[in-house]
Structure 1
Amino acid sequence: MTEFIIEAQKISPQQRHSFIVESFDNLEGGDAIVIVNNHDPLPLLRFFEQNRASEFKQEYIQSGPGVWKVRLTKNKKEGCCGFCGGN
Protein backbone atom coordinates (compact mmCIF):
# COMPACT_ATOMS: atom_id res chain seq x y z
CA MET A 1 0.00 0.00 0.00
CA THR A 2 1.25 3.42 -0.97
CA GLU A 3 0.01 6.53 0.82
CA PHE A 4 0.19 10.02 -0.67
CA ILE A 5 -0.12 13.18 1.42
CA ILE A 6 -2.09 16.12 0.00
CA GLU A 7 -1.85 19.38 1.92
CA ALA A 8 -5.15 20.80 0.72
CA GLN A 9 -4.71 24.29 2.14
CA LYS A 10 -1.69 24.76 -0.16
CA ILE A 11 -3.81 24.21 -3.30
CA SER A 12 -5.85 27.10 -4.67
CA PRO A 13 -9.54 26.81 -3.70
CA GLN A 14 -10.58 26.76 -7.38
CA GLN A 15 -8.43 23.66 -8.06
CA ARG A 16 -8.51 21.88 -4.70
CA HIS A 17 -11.41 19.43 -5.14
CA SER A 18 -10.59 18.53 -8.73
CA PHE A 19 -6.93 17.93 -7.81
CA ILE A 20 -7.90 15.63 -4.93
CA VAL A 21 -10.48 13.71 -6.99
CA GLU A 22 -8.03 13.28 -9.87
CA SER A 23 -5.33 12.12 -7.44
CA PHE A 24 -7.75 9.57 -5.98
CA ASP A 25 -8.79 8.36 -9.43
CA ASN A 26 -5.12 7.71 -10.30
CA LEU A 27 -4.54 5.49 -7.25
CA GLU A 28 -4.07 1.75 -7.51
CA GLY A 29 -6.47 -0.39 -5.49
CA GLY A 30 -5.30 -0.50 -1.87
CA ASP A 31 -3.41 2.81 -2.11
CA ALA A 32 -4.53 5.90 -0.21
CA ILE A 33 -4.37 9.66 -0.06
CA VAL A 34 -4.24 11.53 3.21
CA ILE A 35 -5.88 14.93 2.99
CA VAL A 36 -4.41 17.45 5.43
CA ASN A 37 -6.54 20.55 5.86
CA ASN A 38 -7.20 23.45 8.23
CA HIS A 39 -10.92 22.56 8.40
CA ASP A 40 -13.07 19.45 8.21
CA PRO A 41 -13.33 18.53 4.49
CA LEU A 42 -17.01 17.59 4.70
CA PRO A 43 -18.06 18.91 1.25
CA LEU A 44 -15.31 16.84 -0.38
CA LEU A 45 -16.25 13.75 1.63
CA ARG A 46 -19.90 14.21 0.62
CA PHE A 47 -18.82 14.33 -3.01
CA PHE A 48 -16.98 11.03 -2.60
CA GLU A 49 -19.95 9.45 -0.82
CA GLN A 50 -22.32 10.55 -3.59
CA ASN A 51 -20.10 9.76 -6.57
CA ARG A 52 -17.60 7.10 -5.48
CA ALA A 53 -19.37 5.32 -2.60
CA SER A 54 -18.27 1.82 -3.58
CA GLU A 55 -14.72 2.86 -4.45
CA PHE A 56 -13.26 4.00 -1.13
CA LYS A 57 -13.21 3.91 2.62
CA GLN A 58 -12.44 6.90 4.78
CA GLU A 59 -10.76 7.25 8.14
CA TYR A 60 -10.25 10.37 10.20
CA ILE A 61 -6.69 10.35 11.49
CA GLN A 62 -6.97 13.74 13.19
CA SER A 63 -10.11 15.81 13.81
CA GLY A 64 -9.12 19.37 14.59
CA PRO A 65 -9.27 21.83 16.07
CA GLY A 66 -6.52 23.30 13.85
CA VAL A 67 -5.68 20.35 11.61
CA TRP A 68 -7.83 17.64 10.04
CA LYS A 69 -6.32 14.55 8.43
CA VAL A 70 -8.53 12.14 6.50
CA ARG A 71 -7.31 8.98 4.79
CA LEU A 72 -9.18 7.91 1.65
CA THR A 73 -8.21 4.38 0.63
CA LYS A 74 -9.16 3.15 -2.82
CA ASN A 75 -10.86 -0.23 -2.65
CA LYS A 76 -9.51 -3.11 -4.66
CA LYS A 77 -11.84 -4.43 -7.31
CA GLU A 78 -14.19 -7.23 -6.26
CA GLY A 79 -12.47 -10.61 -6.42
CA CYS A 80 -9.07 -9.01 -6.94
CA CYS A 81 -6.02 -10.96 -5.83
CA GLY A 82 -4.08 -7.70 -5.46
CA PHE A 83 -1.42 -8.68 -8.00
CA CYS A 84 -2.52 -6.13 -10.62
CA GLY A 85 -2.99 -3.32 -8.11
CA GLY A 86 -6.78 -3.62 -8.17
CA ASN A 87 -7.32 -1.70 -11.37
Structure 2
Amino acid sequence: MSNQINNESTVPVIDVRTIIPRERHPLIFQTFDNLDEGQAFMIVNDHEPKPLYYQFLHERENQFTWEYLEEGPETWRVRIGKRVGA
Protein backbone atom coordinates (compact mmCIF):
# COMPACT_ATOMS: atom_id res chain seq x y z
CA MET A 1 0.00 0.00 0.00
CA SER A 2 2.76 2.45 0.82
CA ASN A 3 4.37 1.80 -2.57
CA GLN A 4 1.17 2.84 -4.32
CA ILE A 5 1.02 6.05 -2.33
CA ASN A 6 4.68 6.76 -3.10
CA ASN A 7 4.14 6.13 -6.80
CA GLU A 8 1.15 8.46 -6.83
CA SER A 9 3.03 11.22 -5.05
CA THR A 10 5.89 11.18 -7.57
CA VAL A 11 3.75 11.90 -10.63
CA PRO A 12 2.72 15.45 -11.58
CA VAL A 13 -0.82 16.35 -10.52
CA ILE A 14 -3.23 18.55 -12.45
CA ASP A 15 -6.18 19.65 -10.33
CA VAL A 16 -8.58 20.55 -13.13
CA ARG A 17 -11.13 21.86 -10.62
CA THR A 18 -9.08 25.07 -10.56
CA ILE A 19 -8.83 25.44 -14.36
CA ILE A 20 -11.30 27.17 -16.70
CA PRO A 21 -13.36 24.35 -18.28
CA ARG A 22 -12.48 25.15 -21.91
CA GLU A 23 -8.76 24.96 -21.04
CA ARG A 24 -8.86 21.60 -19.25
CA HIS A 25 -8.68 19.08 -22.10
CA PRO A 26 -6.05 21.00 -24.10
CA LEU A 27 -3.84 21.21 -20.98
CA ILE A 28 -4.30 17.52 -20.23
CA PHE A 29 -3.43 16.49 -23.80
CA GLN A 30 -0.43 18.84 -23.86
CA THR A 31 0.79 17.31 -20.61
CA PHE A 32 0.30 13.80 -22.01
CA ASP A 33 2.11 14.64 -25.24
CA ASN A 34 5.10 15.94 -23.26
CA LEU A 35 5.46 12.70 -21.29
CA ASP A 36 8.23 10.25 -22.06
CA GLU A 37 7.18 6.65 -22.62
CA GLY A 38 6.38 4.98 -19.30
CA GLN A 39 5.72 8.27 -17.50
CA ALA A 40 2.37 9.33 -16.05
CA PHE A 41 0.51 12.17 -14.41
CA MET A 42 -2.63 12.41 -12.32
CA ILE A 43 -5.74 14.50 -12.80
CA VAL A 44 -8.09 15.48 -9.99
CA ASN A 45 -11.65 16.34 -10.98
CA ASP A 46 -15.03 17.03 -9.38
CA HIS A 47 -16.93 14.79 -11.82
CA GLU A 48 -16.51 11.53 -13.70
CA PRO A 49 -13.98 12.24 -16.50
CA LYS A 50 -15.58 9.76 -18.92
CA PRO A 51 -15.74 12.29 -21.83
CA LEU A 52 -11.98 12.79 -21.45
CA TYR A 53 -11.46 9.02 -21.52
CA TYR A 54 -13.41 8.74 -24.77
CA GLN A 55 -11.44 11.62 -26.25
CA PHE A 56 -8.22 9.78 -25.36
CA LEU A 57 -9.60 6.63 -27.01
CA HIS A 58 -10.30 8.58 -30.18
CA GLU A 59 -7.21 10.80 -30.34
CA ARG A 60 -4.51 8.67 -28.64
CA GLU A 61 -5.72 5.12 -29.26
CA ASN A 62 -3.37 2.46 -27.82
CA GLN A 63 -1.00 5.16 -26.55
CA PHE A 64 -2.25 5.64 -22.99
CA THR A 65 -3.09 3.91 -19.74
CA TRP A 66 -6.00 4.99 -17.56
CA GLU A 67 -6.22 4.04 -13.88
CA TYR A 68 -8.89 5.27 -11.49
CA LEU A 69 -7.38 6.00 -8.09
CA GLU A 70 -10.57 7.50 -6.63
CA GLU A 71 -14.09 7.36 -8.07
CA GLY A 72 -16.29 10.01 -6.49
CA PRO A 73 -18.77 10.96 -5.42
CA GLU A 74 -17.08 14.33 -4.87
CA THR A 75 -13.57 13.73 -6.18
CA TRP A 76 -12.19 11.62 -9.01
CA ARG A 77 -8.48 10.95 -9.35
CA VAL A 78 -7.13 9.30 -12.51
CA ARG A 79 -3.57 8.30 -13.33
CA ILE A 80 -2.92 8.71 -17.07
CA GLY A 81 0.24 7.21 -18.47
CA LYS A 82 2.02 6.98 -21.81
CA ARG A 83 2.53 3.40 -22.95
CA VAL A 84 6.01 2.22 -23.84
CA GLY A 85 6.22 2.00 -27.61
CA ALA A 86 3.46 4.58 -28.08
Q: Which has the larger radius of gyration?
A: 1
State yes or no: 1:76 paired with 2:84: yes
For the pair 1:30 / 2:34, whether they are aligned, the reply is no
- Cα deviation for residue 4 of structure 1 reads 1.2
The residue identity in structure 1 corresponding to 2:31 is S
Q: Do structure 1's residue 15 and structure 2's residue 31 form an aligned pair?
A: no
Correspondence list, 1:47-66, <5 A: 47-66=55-74
Given the alignment, which residue of 3, 9, 16 partners 2:11?
Answer: 3
Please report the TM-score for the alignment, with normalisation by the length of structure 2: 0.84
> Unaligned stretches of 5+ in structure 2?
1-6
CA-CA distance at 1:13 after TM superposition: 0.7
Tell me the matched-pair count.
Answer: 78
Look up the equivalent residue of 1:7 and give its one-letter code.
D
Amino acid at match of 2:36: E
Structure in which a larger fraction of residues adopt helix? 2
Q: Which stretch shifts more, 31-40 or 1-10?
A: 1-10
Partners of 1:50 and 1:63 lie apart in 2 by 22
What is the TM-score with the length of structure 1 in the denominator?
A: 0.83
Quote the sequence identity (%): 40
Q: CA RMSD in A?
A: 1.5
